[in-house]
Structure 1
Amino acid sequence: MLNFLFFLFTSFSLLSLAEDRIIIPKDLVTLDSDYPNATAVLIRDDRIHAVGAKEDLIKEFPNTPVDLTHKNDVLIPGFIEHHIHPLLAAITMNSEIVAIDDWTVLNKKSTGIRDREGYLKKLKELESSMNTNDPLISWGFHHYFHGKLTKDDLDKISSDRPILIIHRSFHEFIMNSKALEFFGIAKEDLKGLNAEEKKLANYGEGHFSERGLIMVMPKIMQFLAAPQRIIGGLSITEEYIHKQGITLIANPGAMYNKLTQGAKNYVFGDIDTPFRSLFIPSALYMLEHFNNSELLEETEALLNWGEGKVQYLPKHIKLFSDGAMYSQNMVLRDGYLDGHQGVWLMEEDIFKETFRIYWDAGYQIHIHQNGDSGLDRILEVLEDNMARNPRDDHRTTIVHFGYSAFDQIEKMKQLGVIVSANPYYVPVLSDLYSKVGIGYERSQEMVRLGDVARANIKLSLHSDMPMAPASPLALMHAAVNRINYANEVAGPNQRISSLNALKGVTLNAAYLLGLESDYGSISPGKYANFTLLEENPLTVDHLLIKDIKVKGTIVEGRLFGF
Structure 2
Amino acid sequence: MRSTAIAFVLLAWSGTTLLAADISAADTIFFGGDIVTVNEAKPTVEALAVKDGLIVAVGDREMIEQEHKDESTKIIDLAGKTLLPGFIDAHSHYINSLSVANQAQVYAPTSGPGKDVESIIATIRKFAEERKIPKGELIVAYGYDDTVMPDGRLLNRDDLDAAFPENPVRVDHVSMHGTVLNSLALKKYGYSAATETPPGGVIVRKEGTNEPYGLIMETAYLPVAEQSEAMTPEQEIEAAKAGQMLYAQAGITTAHEGLTHLANFQTMKRASDAGANIIDVVAYPFITDVDKIAAELPVSEWGEYRDRLKIGGVKITIDGSPQGRTAFFTTPYLTGGPAGEKDWKGELTFPQDTINQMVKKVYTIGVPLDLHANGDAAIDAFFNAHEFAAADDLTKDRHVTLVHSQFIRRDQIPKYVKYKVRPSFYTLHTYYFAEAHLANRGKEQAMYISPMRDAINAGLHPTNHTDFVVAPLDQMFMLWSAVNRISRAGAQIGPDQRVTPLEGLKTMTIWPAEQYGEQDRKGSLEPGKLADLVILDKNPLKVDPMTIKDIKVVETIKEGDTIFRAQ
Matched, 1:83 2:82: no
What secondary structure, in the 3-state scheme, does the structure 2 residue paired with 1:357 have?
helix
Distance in 2 separating the partners of 1:561 and 1:124: 32
Matched, 1:370 2:374: yes
**Which residue of 1 is the match for residue 299 of structure 2?**
300
Matched, 1:431 2:428: no
Tell me if structure 2 keeps the 8 A contact 1:241–1:470. Answer: yes
What secondary structure, in the 3-state scheme, does the structure 2 residue paired with 1:251 have?
strand
Q: Which of 22, 34, 45 is residue 41 of structure 2 equivalent to?
A: 34
Matched, 1:70 2:78: yes
**Which residue of 1 is the match for residue 310 of structure 2?**
311
Distance in 1 separating the partners of 2:502 and 2:267: 37
Q: Which of 165, 173, 183 is residue 177 of structure 1 equivalent to?
A: 183
Tell me if structure 1 keeps the 8 A contact 2:356–2:385. Answer: yes
Q: CA deviation at 1:552?
A: 0.8
Structure 1's 36 and 286: CA in aligned 2 closer, same or farther, altered over 3 A? closer
Matched, 1:336 2:336: no
Distance in 2 separating the partners of 1:140 and 1:297: 33
Tell me if structure 2 keeps the 8 A contact 1:419–1:459. Answer: yes
Q: CA deviation at 1:273?
A: 4.1
Distance in 1 separating the partners of 2:199 and 2:91: 33
Q: Structure 1, unaligned stretches of length 5 or more?
A: 1-17, 104-110
Matched, 1:214 2:222: yes
Q: Which of 133, 142, 147 is residue 139 of structure 1 equivalent to?
A: 142
Q: Which of 329, 352, 356 is residue 356 of structure 2 equivalent to?
A: 352
**Which residue of 2 is the match for residue 545 of structure 1?**
548
Matched, 1:158 2:164: yes
**Which residue of 2 is the match for residue 44 of structure 1?**
51
**Which residue of 1 is the match for residue 114 of structure 2?**
113
Tell me if structure 2 keeps the 8 A contact 1:507–1:516. Answer: yes
Q: CA deviation at 1:22?
A: 2.8
Q: Which of 361, 368, 392 is residue 365 of structure 2 equivalent to?
A: 361
Structure 1's 122 and 303: CA in aligned 2 closer, same or farther, altered over 3 A? same
Tell me if structure 1 keeps the 8 A contact 2:173–2:179. Answer: yes
1:492-547 Cα distance to aligned partner (Å, 9 max, x none): 11111101110111000100111100100001111111111111111111111121
1:234-277 Cα distance to aligned partner (Å, 9 max, x none): 443222111111111122322222xx434334555665743111
Mapping of residues 407-422 of structure 1, within 5 Å: 407-422=411-426
**Which residue of 1 is the match for residue 245 of structure 2?**
239
Tell me if structure 1 keeps the 8 A contact 2:84–2:533. Answer: yes
Distance in 1 separating the partners of 2:127 and 2:66: 63
Distance in 1 separating the partners of 2:234 and 2:179: 22
Tell me if structure 2 keeps the 8 A contact 1:282–1:317. Answer: yes
Letter in 2 for 1:403: F
1:200-225 Cα distance to aligned partner (Å, 9 max, x none): 7975323322111213545x5346x6
Distance in 1 separating the partners of 2:167 and 2:28: 57
Distance in 2 separating the partners of 1:178 and 1:226: 25
Distance in 1 separating the partners of 2:303 and 2:418: 36
Structure 1's 54 and 362: CA in aligned 2 closer, same or farther, altered over 3 A? same
Distance in 1 separating the partners of 2:198 and 2:508: 41
Q: Structure 2, unaligned stretches of length 5 or more?
A: 1-24, 337-342
Distance in 2 separating the partners of 1:510 and 1:427: 26
Structure with greater helix percent: 1
Matched, 1:20 2:27: yes
What secondary structure, in the 3-state scheme, does the structure 1 residue paired with 2:228 have?
helix
Distance in 2 separating the partners of 1:407 and 1:483: 25
Tell me if structure 2 keeps the 8 A contact 1:200–1:213. Answer: no
Structure 1's 52 and 217: CA in aligned 2 closer, same or farther, altered over 3 A? closer
- Aligned-residue RMSD, C-alpha: 3.0
> Percent identical across equivalent pairs?
23
Distance in 1 separating the partners of 2:186 and 2:213: 11
Tell me if structure 2 keeps the 8 A contact 1:364–1:396. Answer: yes
Tell me if structure 2 keeps the 8 A contact 1:114–1:145. Answer: yes
Q: CA deviation at 1:160?
A: 2.4
1:45-86 Cα distance to aligned partner (Å, 9 max, x none): 121122111122223345483613434431111111132212
TM-score by length of structure 1 reads: 0.85
Distance in 2 separating the partners of 1:46 and 1:112: 41
Q: CA deviation at 1:96?
A: 0.8
Mapping of residues 243-282 of structure 1, within 5 Å: 243-257=249-263, 260-267=264-271, 273-282=277-286
**Which residue of 2 is the match for residue 323 of structure 1?**
320
Distance in 1 separating the partners of 2:426 and 2:44: 31
Distance in 1 separating the partners of 2:131 and 2:48: 52
Distance in 1 separating the partners of 2:69 and 2:95: 47
Tell me if structure 2 keeps the 8 A contact 1:265–1:307. Answer: no
What secondary structure, in the 3-state scheme, does the structure 2 residue paired with 1:68 have?
strand
TM-score by length of structure 2 reads: 0.84
What secondary structure, in the 3-state scheme, does the structure 2 residue paired with 1:26 have?
strand
Q: Which range moves more in the overlay, 58-67 or 318-327?
A: 58-67
**Which residue of 2 is the match for residue 53 of structure 1?**
60
Q: CA deviation at 1:157?
A: 2.0
Mapping of residues 495-534 of structure 1, within 5 Å: 495-534=498-537
Q: Which range moves more in the overlay, 114-123 or 350-359?
A: 114-123
Q: CA deviation at 1:393?
A: 3.0
Tell me if structure 1 keeps the 8 A contact 2:27–2:74. Answer: no
Tell me if structure 2 keeps the 8 A contact 1:113–1:119. Answer: yes
**Which residue of 1 is the match for residue 396 of structure 2?**
392
Structure 1's 498 and 327: CA in aligned 2 closer, same or farther, altered over 3 A? same
Count of residue correspondences:
524
What secondary structure, in the 3-state scheme, does the structure 1 residue paired with 2:371 have?
strand
Matched, 1:149 2:155: yes
Structure 1's 195 and 140: CA in aligned 2 closer, same or farther, altered over 3 A? closer
Distance in 1 separating the partners of 2:277 and 2:200: 44
Q: Which of 188, 204, 212 is residue 204 of structure 1 equivalent to?
A: 212
Tell me if structure 2 keeps the 8 A contact 1:24–1:66. Answer: no
Structure 1's 256 and 190: CA in aligned 2 closer, same or farther, altered over 3 A? farther
